[in-house]
């Protein structure tokens, strides 16, 4: 619950946890055929669920994100949640109007059950005993949380990148539980290029001797491998142009060293990003979550199934210069929407930021999201009487 602390007008939010699939209940059935239990999801909520329970918006985070989408945990925190300029009082996803929920994904490492969690069968962290999970499994877990929070039908599910995959999966798995979805900078399926980039990242982790086949808990984690994977990732999140604008060929110390030290600012930036990442992210989660993205495929008739009429509204957003999730992948989503006569809006936002644009082009996204949500709320209000 989001509240204002008396000493400070900065919204303070409290992390929460929801555990299900505990004995004697059955475990969570996974797409792989295995089951997992108990499952804990870390989540945060903002705003209030209204009396008609029709103002709930689920925000899905991207690959390395977490449940802390907005506000501050403590007044002294330096940085707010990861999408604070989009979610909050008066923002496009207005917490004065909407009940906003964000949870850490299944398989993650920010409070939800993942490979670094303790396996109740052994009393030790799962490591590679953790079952492979998919985007569908992540969404199934979210659906349990949405049930727990007493939300019969979400007003919207919104997310960028892997968050967009979850939004699409919601439309596929639970069409009657979601009034609208907003997939941003995402795809119906990972292309060979996207799978290849993920595989390079996984190989970087697994090639680190400290990885130890996933059994590094309580010892030195594979920091070098994970940092290298993250460096590669960051290159794919930017564009040639945004790197030129940000770094050019600027040197860290004004002159080249004629050695393999970090001469260029871009090298220093990538190392800094890599080194920071290993402090907050679990290497095995990196493997599991990238695999979940690679398995994701809602192309063909998987998004809507056959025959069924589609009542979910769509707002699809993509960015010029995003070469990791290029425009054509969002156009493929739009093509499916046209084929099924879905009430939908699509916008290609001019940006030079590459894939990162979905976190940076807030003004343009806000114009779309604010009004799309208002219209969806109008429709909900009319239908719910």
In whole angstroms, the minimum distance from the beta carbon of 331 to another protein comes to 8
Stretch that binds another protein, among 32-40, 231-239, 281-289, 368-376 (CB under 8 A): 368-376
Q: Is 264 within 8 Å of 249 (Cβ atoms)?
A: yes
Taking the complex as a whole, the smallest distance from the CB of residue 338 to another protein amounts, in Å, to: 4
Closest CA to 92 of 280, 379, 302, 361: 361
Among 157-165, 190-198, 214-222, 341-349, the segment contacting another protein (CB under 8 A): 341-349
- Quote the CA–CA distance of 103 and 141 in Å, as a whole number: 10
Q: Is 161 a catalytic residue?
A: yes
**By CB under 8 A, is residue 375 in contact with another protein?**
yes
Nearer Cβ to another protein (124/367): 367
- The long-range contacts involving 325-329, CB below 8 angstroms and separated by at least 24 positions, are 325/161, 325/185, 325/186, 325/187, 325/194, 325/355, 329/186, 329/187, 329/188, 329/191
Smallest distance, another protein to C-beta of residue 3, A: 32
Running DSSP on this structure, what letter comes out for residue 28? E
Torsion of CA 235, 241, 242, 243, to 10 degrees: 50
Angle, in degrees to the nearest 10, between helices 223-237 and 192-206 = 160
Interface with another protein in residues 9-68 (CB under 8 A): none
Give residue 33's region: left, alpha or beta (phi > 0; psi -120 to 50).
left
349 near another protein, rule: CB under 8 A: yes
CB nearer another protein, residue 195 or residue 347: 347
Q: Exactly one of 116, 208, 355, 356 is catalytic; which is it?
A: 355
The piece of 21-29, 57-65, 136-144, 332-340 that touches another protein (CB under 8 A) is 332-340
Q: How far is the CB of 315 from another protein (least distance, A)?
A: 8
- Kindly state the smallest distance separating residue 370's Cβ from another protein, in Å: 9
271 binds another protein (CB under 8 A): no
Kindly state the tokens that stand for 149: 């929070």
- Give the residue carrying structure tokens 């992390």: 15
Q: How far is the CB of 364 from another protein (least distance, A)?
A: 7
Determine the Cα–Cα distance for residues 202 and 284; give it in Å rounded to an integer. Answer: 9
Catalytic residue, from 161, 242, 285, 321: name it. 161
Are 153 and 135 a contacting pair, CB within 8 Å?
Answer: no
Confirm or reject binding of residue 299 to another protein (CB under 8 A): no
| 94 catalytic residue (yes or no) | no
Q: Quote the CA–CA distance of 275 and 279 in Å, as a whole number.
A: 7
Name which of 96, 111, 19 is nearest 57 in CA terms. 96
* Interface pick for another protein out of 18, 272, 323, 346 (rule CB under 8 A): 346
Nearer to another protein, 293 or 368 (CB): 368
Please pick, from the candidates 31, 199, 267, 343, the single residue that binds another protein as defined by CB under 8 A: 343
At its nearest, how many Å lie between another protein and the CB of residue 371? 5
**Is the separation of the CB atoms in 29 and 37 below 8 Å?**
no
**Is there a catalytic annotation at residue 129?**
no
Asked whether position 150 contacts another protein by CB under 8 A, the answer is: no
By beta-carbon proximity to another protein, the closer residue of 110 and 351 is: 351
Residue 124, interface with another protein (CB under 8 A)?
Answer: no
Structure tokens at 41: 């999801």
- Rule CB under 8 A: is residue 207 a binding residue for another protein? no
DSSP class per residue in 81-127 = -TTTTTEETTSSEETTT-EEEEEPPTT-SSSSS-TTSEETTTTEE-G
Please report whether residue 358 would count as binding another protein according to CB under 8 A.
no
Site for another protein in 302-331 (CB under 8 A): 313, 315
List residues with catalytic annotation. 161, 322, 355
Q: Contact residues for another protein (CB under 8 A)? A: 313, 315, 334-335, 338-339, 341, 343-350, 364, 367-368, 371-372, 374-375, 378
């Amino acid at each position: 619950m989001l509240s204002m602390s008396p000493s400070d007008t900065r919204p303070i939010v409290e992390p929460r946890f929801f555990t299900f699939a505990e004995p004697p209940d059955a475990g969570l059935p996974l797409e792989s055929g295995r089951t997992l239990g108990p499952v804990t999801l870390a989540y945060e909520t903002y705003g209030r669920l209204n009396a008609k329970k029709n103002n709930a918006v689920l925000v899905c985070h991207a690959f390395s994100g977490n449940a802390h989408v907005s506000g501050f945990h403590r007044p002294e925190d330096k940085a707010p949640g990861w999408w604070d300029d989009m979610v909050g009082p008066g923002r496009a996803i207005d917490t004065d109007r909407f009940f906003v929920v964000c949870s850490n994904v299944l398989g993650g490492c920010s409070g939800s059950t993942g490979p670094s969690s303790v396996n109740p069968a052994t009393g030790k962290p799962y490591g590679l005993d953790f079952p492979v999970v998919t985007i569908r499994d992540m969404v199934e877990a979210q659906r349990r949380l949405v049930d727990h929070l007493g939300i019969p039908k979400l007003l919207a599910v919104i997310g960028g990148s892997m968050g967009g995959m979850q939004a699409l999966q919601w439309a596929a798995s639970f069409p009657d539980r979601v009034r609208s979805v907003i997939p941003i900078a995402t795809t119906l399926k990972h292309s060979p290029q996207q799978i290849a980039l993920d595989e390079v990242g996984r190989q970087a982790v697994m090639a680190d001797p400290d990885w130890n086949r996933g059994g590094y808990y309580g010892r030195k984690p594979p920091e070098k491998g994970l940092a290298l994977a993250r460096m590669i990732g960051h290159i794919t999140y930017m564009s040639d142009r945004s790197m030129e604008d940000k770094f050019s060929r600027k040197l860290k110390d004004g002159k080249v060293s004629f050695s393999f030290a970090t001469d260029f600012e871009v090298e220093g930036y990538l190392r800094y990003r890599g080194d920071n990442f290993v402090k907050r992210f679990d290497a095995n989660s990196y493997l599991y979550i990238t695999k979940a993205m690679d398995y994701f495929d809602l192309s063909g008739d998987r998004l809507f199934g056959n025959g069924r009429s589609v009542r979910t509204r769509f707002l699809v957003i993509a960015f010029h210069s995003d070469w990791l999730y290029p425009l054509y992948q969002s156009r493929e989503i739009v093509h499916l929407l046209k084929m099924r006569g879905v009430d939908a809006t699509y916008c290609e936002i001019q940006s030079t930021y590459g894939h990162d644009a979905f976190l940076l082009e807030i003004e343009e996204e806000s114009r779309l999201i604010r009004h799309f949500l208002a219209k969806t709320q109008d429709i909900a209000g009319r239908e719910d009487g």
